[in-house]
Structure 1
Amino acid sequence: MLKKLFQAFRPNDPPALPDPDAELALGALLVRVAKSDREYKLEEISLIDRILSRLYQHDALEAAKVRATCEKLHSAAPETDTFGRLIRETTGLDERLAALDALWEVVLADNNEHEGEVRILEEAYKAMGLSFADNEAARTKAQVKLLASQGDNNV
């Protein structure tokens, strides 16, 4: 069913995109969040690559390739909740919570929560079957991580 849905959004001639799995769905959501403020910065791109490396044990080159595929999926893909549902249906709770943590890392990467980013994140966590409390815990965890990394940069 999802395969047909994704095919409906694909242009006729471009190279075929892979059917999304949980990794590609999360990557596409990360890209969607990063691009939602109309500024897709190198820092966000690097962060997405690091997240994909961390969560899926990719080396830097493989993570960049996966992200590039996710950028194409984001452009051709349906609504945010479709990605969220795919993640919910194919992963366990721990993986979904890790995905939510990663989404908040991207939202907070520029020290500013843009309305569009937060809206996408809200759609995603609900579609992933996570609660408001899960969302708030992920936000706090990402804020602590961001503060720790900024402290490391100031040393």
Structure 2
Amino acid sequence: MLKKFLQALRPPQHEHLPDPDAELALGALMVRVAQADRDYKLEEIRLIDKILARLYQHNAIEAAKVRATCEKLHAAAPDTDTFGKLIRETTDLKERLAALDALWEVVLADGNTDEGEVKIVEEARVAMGLSFNDSKAARERVQSRLDVS
């Protein structure tokens, strides 16, 4: 009985997290961007799920599971540039540009551009080996899609 009591007082053991691949790295970066303003909204969660489903051909349940894993990775996460470098080293230019679009989509989704969100996108952009002009073009593409909606 004492053993059970002492175990209850210990902090919970963290479950084993998978080694991130490009998908999990991008998901963790999107979560990081969405949480940068300390207001992680349901709309942002849904958007991240939608982006993961679109980019990686998941159904809604699979995308939600991936995002949940990404939330855990973000919480235990290395620096933003570590995720960005992983994306750079494991994907081609087209996929890195799509990842940058996805990050801007999360930033611009709520209509408020938080300085902390932009800082994370810029750190990720540099780590992914993309230029300032790539980022500017991605932001403009996403903004034009949002303006049409």
On whether the aligned pair clears a TM of 0.5, the verdict is yes
Provide, for residues 35-87 of structure 1, a one-character-per-residue CA deviation record: whole Å limited to 9, x for no partner: 00000001100000000000000000000000000000000011100000000
Number of residue pairs aligned between Structure 1 and Structure 2: 139
Provide, for residues 88-136 of structure 1, a one-character-per-residue CA deviation record: whole Å limited to 9, x for no partner: 0000000000000000000001111100000000000000000000000
Which residue does 2:99 correspond to in 1? Answer: 99
Runs of 4+ in 1 over 6 A off after TM superposition: none
Structure 2 letter corresponding to 1:143: Q
Query: TM-score scaled to structure 1, two decimals?
Result: 0.88
Which residue does 2:88 correspond to in 1? Answer: 88
* 1:13 Cα offset (Å): 2.3
Structure 1 letter corresponding to 2:123: E
Instruction: Measure, in 2, the Cα distance between the counterparts of 1:146 and 1:67.
Output: 22
Q: Provide the identity percentage.
A: 74
Which residue does 2:3 correspond to in 1? Answer: none
Instruction: Measure, in 1, the Cα distance between the counterparts of 2:58 and 2:145.
Output: 21
Which residue does 1:56 correspond to in 2? Answer: 56
Instruction: Measure, in 1, the Cα distance between the counterparts of 2:58 and 2:108.
Output: 23
Secondary structure at the counterpart of residue 37 of structure 1: coil
Tell which structure's C-alpha radius of gyration is larger: 2
Q: Gaps (5+ residues) in structure 2?
A: 1-10
Provide, for residues 5-35 of structure 1, a one-character-per-residue CA deviation record: whole Å limited to 9, x for no partner: xxxxxx9921100000000000000000000
Instruction: Measure, in 2, the Cα distance between the counterparts of 1:12 and 1:91.
Output: 35
Alignment root-mean-square deviation, CA? 1.1
Which residue does 1:6 correspond to in 2? Answer: none
Query: TM-score scaled to structure 2, two decimals?
Result: 0.91
Instruction: Measure, in 1, the Cα distance between the counterparts of 2:42 and 2:148.
Output: 20
